Every structure is written in C-alpha cells, then in structure tokens.
Structure 1
Amino acid sequence: MKKFQLSDIELYYTLPEFITKDKITLADDEFKHCCKVMRNVIGDVIYITDGEGNIYKSEIEKIKKNSLSGKILETISYKNGLKNIFFCIPKLKSPDRLKYALEKCVELGITNFILFESKRTIGRIKNIERFNRILISAMKQSLHAFLPVVCTASLKSIITNSGIKILFDQGSENQFSFNNNSAEKYYFLFGPEGGFEDGEIGTIDSSNKFFLSNHRLRSETAVIKCASLLTRGF
C-alpha cells in the first residue's frame, strides 16, 4: 500500500455501487457541490471516497443534469486501525455540544458511535439522520476515507453486547492506558451529564474503569480527549 499525504483538496463521497473498475459516478448533493459550488468542469481532477477506505483520484469525463462520471486515475487505499473501537456517548442536553464531540472524533479517526440513553440521561435524539450528515461532512473535511457509523441504543443493550467495556469514571484509581487487540471489540463508555446510577454499571470490572484527568471533564471534553489519546499513532 502506497502512503499518501493529502492536503488542499476537496473530498467528495459516493456510494460504493457507483464505482466500477475504472469509472466513478458522483450524484445528488455531492454532484451539486462539485459542479455548482466548486465549479468543476470536464477535464478537472477531483478526489472521491467510497467510505470504505479508498480515495479515488478521478478526471471528470461527462457532466449531466444531476450527476457526473469520471475516469479513475489512481486509487489511494488506507487501513482502519480503529474499526473495532465503539464510542458510546450519552445523549447530551445540548445538541451543539454533541455535534462538536462527534465532529472532533471523526477528524481524529474514530468511526463507530453509539448514542445511548440511561436513567440520568438528559438529552434526547429525534433525528439520527442529522448526525449521519454531520459525520459525512466531518469525514470529507478531514480527508478521511472511512464512513463513520452512528446508531442509538440503550445502556443496558451496550453492557450486554459481547466485547470489552471500558468505563471512564472520575473516582477510578486507574489512569487510562490502552493496547488495542484487533481481534476484540471495545466499547468506550462516557458518563452522561447526570452521571450513572450504580446499578447500571455494576457489572463492569473495576480494572476496566479509568480516569482521564485529575479534573472533572464535561462529557464532550472526555470524549474528545479519549479520541485524541487513542489516535496518536494513526
């Protein structure tokens, strides 16, 4: 795999089914942004990701009313070293603070998110599609090639999932450290603004409870700090 450093480009996203061996199609909002906003024309070179780890350097060949097609000149492929990491984030009272945390995590390379409700969760999520759009935009802005995935779940369902649960608790005596075993799934649990009730997290082993700072952090700050620590090598 060749290693590339991309900068100063505009990255677009298309569905994998719009890509063949040497041709690629851009449609709908992505097409409009490419041709109507960025004013790209036939012969221009653009970069498109399929959200599955590939970025395609492509030359525009045809422009139609609602789509364009291009010739793939080069494929740049990446590996997702954090695909087994799931960030379990509480639904926050302020949608803007949650949006900010998600954007920064995507910029740092986190790709799996679960928004959960617990007994003391304050916020509510009414439109998950809005967050999907936010994540796609953050992926393109930061020139990442993996489409972030976000879903909702109850805290109970996360706890009962197979995989290792890691809880961030200000009262823990364990300073956070982590060695990623790619064969395992890891669920990183961040506390809601109202905190967890003891009965909700009692099954998590104390050795998997960590503190991130000597000071109390807001939920979104803890999420971003953890993402920064995890992605230092990526």
Structure 2
Amino acid sequence: MHLFYQPDSNLYELDEEEARHSSKVLRLNSGDIIYVTNGKGTLQKCVLNIQGKKAGYEVLESQIIERRPFSVHLAIAPTRKAERNEWMVEKMTEIGVERIDFMLTEHTNADTINRVVNLTRLNRIAAAAMKQSQQHYLPVITIGNKYEAFVKGVTGSEKLIAYVPDHNKVEHVFSKVKKGSGTTLLIGPEGDFSEKEVSLALDHGFSTVSLGPTRLRTETAAVAGCHAINLAQNIL
C-alpha cells in the first residue's frame, strides 16, 4: 500500500516532495491507487492524477482509523547532537508513540536547544516514519518544556521516571505498565537527572523504573523505553 501524508484532508493534492516521490521514486502513474492520511486518523483511498510536477488525487473512499486503546508519552532531555534527537524521533514513531516532549533539565544546555532540536525537521522525520510504518496518527512533538512545570502538569497516565539510585534495584519499566492506559516516561540527559529533579518527580506521583542492567545513551534509553511500553501493552 502506497501511503502518503497530506495534513489538509480537503486539498486533494500531494505536496511537492510527496509528488516527486510518487512519480520519480515509486514510478506511479495517473490512475494508480494510493492512500492518503492526514496524520489525525483519516485514511483516504484515492486515484492518482499526475500532471507535470503536480500530483492530484480523487478520493474514492474515506474512513477514520480509531486510536489504539493506550497511549505512549515520552518526555526527554535532548542530546547535544541533532542527528541523535532525529534518530530517536524516527524510531519511536515507527514503534508507536503518541507524544514526544523535549524538556529542559538542570543538566540540559539551554543555549544549544535551538541548534539540536529543530521542530520543523522533527515533524517531517516523524511524518516519513509514520508513513513507512503504515500508521495514521502523527505524534505530537513539543520543545522547550521546563522540567518542573512539565512534571507538575502530567495527569491521567501511569507516571514513570527512568532512574536507578546507586546500589539500589528498581523494577523494569515493562512491569509498571498498566494494560489499556496511558504511560508517561521521563528520560534524563547526559549526566542524568539531579537529585532535586528526581525528588520532584517522586513528590508528584512518578515511580522510578529501570531500562535494563546496562547504562544507555539518552536516545537509546528513549527508544528502549518506548519499545518496552508498547511490548507490555501488546502481550500482557
């Protein structure tokens, strides 16, 4: 199934990049069947009409794809390298994530946030990953959230923070997921959360969890946590 992304369900035309991909990469022709999603659950079966560099389409059928009965929400202190932030967004989208919030912690370099987290580019990467993995909901991505305000504002989900105190053992995130409900997982920066930040999270109902026996990079931890939550929801 050839799936394309058009956020405006009433436009009936692929954007320039999608149009080029349809004709030059996929070698589709007028009359071919394509599917178009708006990233908000609408899926349209369409017939393609290529005219020069433009690719319009006529909608044959339209349906709403229901959201899954649980949600995965990752809040992450961004790494100092843009490509690592982009990689984690791509992989989490492929696995399945409803929301990704990049937050500022005590150990986050606020001066570099705009250099390493480009919201326009991240949304484009997420859209490509959504199509590649045959999904119909684009994750919400935000940047610049201050840690304290974010932690205080989380409601309506199982609240977890990836943090293992020295010489202590905590349960793996897999065992803390509640079937059919939302899960919010906090992932710290290089250098981890400060003791003050951990205490704040615990005071607001978060539970500490492990992501395994080895120390992970921020981007690896985010993807591992996202996968563990999805796995728990699908097999428990």
Identity, % of aligned pairs?
A: 25
Change (3 A) 1:62 1:31: closer
Hey, what does 1:115 align to over in structure 2?
102
Q: Which runs of 5+ in 2 are unaligned?
A: none
Hey, what does 2:40 align to over in structure 1?
52
- Checking the alignment, whether the CA contact within 8 Å between 1:18 and 1:26 is kept in structure 2 is no
SS of structure 2 residue aligned to 1:125: helix
- Checking the alignment, whether the CA contact within 8 Å between 1:25 and 1:67 is kept in structure 2 is yes
- Checking the alignment, whether the CA contact within 8 Å between 2:49 and 2:55 is kept in structure 1 is no
Hey, what does 1:80 align to over in structure 2?
68
Task: Note the C-alpha offset of 1:27.
Answer: 3.2
Task: Note the C-alpha offset of 1:226.
Answer: 1.3
Number of residue pairs the alignment of both structures matches: 219
Task: Note the C-alpha offset of 1:54.
Answer: 3.2
Change (3 A) 1:91 1:167: same
Hey, what does 1:214 align to over in structure 2?
213
Task: Note the C-alpha offset of 1:230.
Answer: 1.6
Runs of 4+ in 1 over 6 A off after TM superposition: none
Higher normalized helix content (fraction of residues): 2
Are 2:130 and 1:139 equivalent residues in the alignment? yes
Hey, what does 1:6 align to over in structure 2?
none
Task: Note the C-alpha offset of 1:101.
Answer: 1.4
Hey, what does 2:10 align to over in structure 1?
18
- Checking the alignment, whether the CA contact within 8 Å between 1:60 and 1:71 is kept in structure 2 is no
Change (3 A) 1:191 1:40: same
What letter matches 2:113 in structure 1? R
Change (3 A) 1:207 1:96: closer
Return the TM-score normalized by structure 1.
0.82
SS of structure 1 residue aligned to 2:113: coil
- Checking the alignment, whether the CA contact within 8 Å between 2:42 and 2:62 is kept in structure 1 is no
What letter matches 1:31 in structure 2? A
Question: In structure 2, what is the Cα distance between the partners aligned to 1:113 and 1:94?
Answer: 17
SS of structure 2 residue aligned to 1:93: coil
Q: Which runs of 5+ in 1 are unaligned?
A: 1-8
Change (3 A) 1:99 1:82: farther
- Checking the alignment, whether the CA contact within 8 Å between 2:161 and 2:206 is kept in structure 1 is no
Hey, what does 1:192 align to over in structure 2?
189
Task: Note the C-alpha offset of 1:98.
Answer: 1.7
Question: In structure 1, what is the Cα distance between the partners aligned to 2:206 and 2:8?
Answer: 41
